[in-house]
């Protein structure tokens, strides 16, 4: 089964960077799930965390940022690189120590789209800046 990002790529578009969800924001859920694993509730908590992490895709392509959340019901945001006004990174003290945070992507004519629990959010922002520069240069040529 291919990923959502791979399914929506258009001809000539390629993935430059993929972000992933960090397990650190779910540490308490995982701990509770392990402690309660002897009962069905713990297994359900662990299954919820697994699905939440695996069903979230975040990618930067040569043309856009793609965010997909959800397994059964799906929520997607796709923003052309030229329409992104800012990529803000919010990190708590714990998030800075464990290298995860929230990305807040704001685009022209749209509300900010927060994506919580992203591992290594500063690398995502750096990759976005590089992709935006590359997109701008190729549009001038």
Is the pLDDT at 50 greater than 60? The verdict is yes
Cα–Cα distance, 68 to 21 (Å, whole number):
12
Q: Is the distance from CB of 38 to CB of 28 less than 8 angstroms?
A: no
Confidence of residue 38 (pLDDT cuts 50, 70, 90): confident
- DSSP-derived secondary structure for 53-116: HHT-EEEEESSEEEEEE-SSS-EEEEEEGGGEEEEEEE--HHHHHHTEEEEEEEETTS--EEEE
pTM value? Answer: 0.81
Phi, psi (deg, nearest 5) at residue 46: -65, -40
Confidence of residue 18 (pLDDT cuts 50, 70, 90): very high
pLDDT digits (tens, 9 = 90+) for 52-62: 889 999 999 99
Q: Which residue has the higher pLDDT, 137 or 116?
A: 116
pLDDT for the residue 141: 58
Nearest of 73, 67, 139, 52 to residue 105 by alpha carbon: 67
Q: Which domains does the chain have, with CATH numbers?
A: 16-140 (2.30.29)
């Amino acid at each position: 089964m291919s990923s959502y990002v791979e399914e929506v790529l258009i001809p000539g578009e390629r993935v430059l960077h993929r972000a992933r969800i960090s397990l650190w924001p779910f540490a308490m859920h995982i701990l509770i799930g392990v402690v309660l694993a002897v009962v069905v509730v713990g297994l359900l908590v662990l299954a919820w965390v697994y699905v939440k992490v695996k069903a979230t895709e975040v990618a930067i392509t040569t043309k856009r940022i793609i965010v997909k959340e959800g397994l059964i019901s799906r929520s997607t945001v796709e923003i052309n690189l030229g329409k992104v006004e800012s990529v803000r990174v919010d990190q708590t003290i714990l998030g800075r120590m464990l290298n995860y945070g929230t990305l807040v992507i704001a685009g022209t004519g749209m509300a900010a789209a927060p994506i919580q629990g992203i591992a290594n959010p500063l690398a995502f922002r750096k990759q976005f800046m590089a992709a935006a520069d590359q997109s701008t240069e190729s549009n001038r040529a």
